[in-house]
Amino acid sequence: MEDKIIKQISLFAENKPGRLAHIADSFREAGINIRAFTIAEAGDFGIIRMVVDKPDAAHNVLHDSGFTVSETDVLGIGMEDVPGGLGMIADVLGKQDINIDYAYAFVTKTEKALLILRVNDIEAAIGILMDSNLELIDMSDIQEI
């Protein structure tokens, strides 16, 4: 079950010019590839969340550049890139009382969509999703996308 957990990098950033460029530059130097990325913006600050191919390295790079950064456990679910894909997942989890804290999605090279989810009970969610025959992505899949 452990191996179905994806390490997402989350960092606190003030909403001011140049912050994103700074992060992107340090990743380029460290050879880290971003697979999925989103910013939750709240006025003066934002939380940047991303799934990368080398989460531990990314954490170190960002920490050493002085960012407040954490690794957060999230789930990655492969979805057919067709209407109704997202609704089904939300439905399965909702029925079992699992709350989605946040979610974001992106489309991969293989014509599948990948949904990243943070839920209130990750272990339970993994069980439910596997029982529903949904495709959970792990870290090695992330590296190959």
Partner 1 sequence: MIEYWNPLVERMPLDELEVIQEKKLKDLVKYVYQHSEFYKERFDDFGVKPEDIKSLDDLKKLPFTYKSDLRDTYPTGMFCVPNEQLVRFHVSSGTTGKPTVVGYTQNDIDVWTTSLARAMTSIGVGRGDIMQIGYGYGLFTGGLGAHYGAEEVGATVLPTSSGNTDRQIELIQDLGSTVIACTPSYFLFMNEVSDGLGISIKDDTTLRVGIFGAEPWSEEMRTRIEESTGIKAYDIYGTSELSGPLFTECHCQNGIHIWADQFLIEIIDPETGEQLTEGERGELVITTLAKEALPLIRYRIGDITVISKEVCKCGRTHPRIMRVLGRADDMLIVRGINVFPGQVESVLMQIPEVGEHFMILVDRLNELDIMKVQIEMTDEAFSDKVNDIIKLEQKVASDLKHVLNIAVKVELVEKGTIPRSMGKAKKVIDNRSL
Binding site for partner 1 (CB under 8 A): 8, 10, 12-14, 40, 42, 44-45, 47, 49, 66-70, 72, 101-102, 118
Q: How far is the CB of 74 from partner 1 (least distance, A)?
A: 9
Nearest to 138 by CA among 62, 76, 93: 76
Nearer to partner 1, 125 or 134 (CB): 125
Q: How far is the CB of 58 from partner 1 (least distance, A)?
A: 14
Q: How far is the CB of 99 from partner 1 (least distance, A)?
A: 12
Contact between residue 133 and residue 80 where contact means Cβ atoms under 8 Å apart:
no
Q: What is the DSSP letter of 3?
A: G
Q: Which helix (H) or strand (E) holds 133?
A: none
Q: What is the DSSP letter of 4?
A: G
Nearer to partner 1, 81 or 121 (CB): 121
Q: How far is the CB of 36 from partner 1 (least distance, A)?
A: 14
5 DSSP β-pair partners = 75
Nearer to partner 1, 42 or 82 (CB): 42
As a whole number of angstroms, the longest Cα–Cα distance in the chain is 45
Q: Cα separation of 42 and 27, whole Å?
A: 24
Nearer to partner 1, 39 or 85 (CB): 39
Q: What is the DSSP letter of 98?
A: P
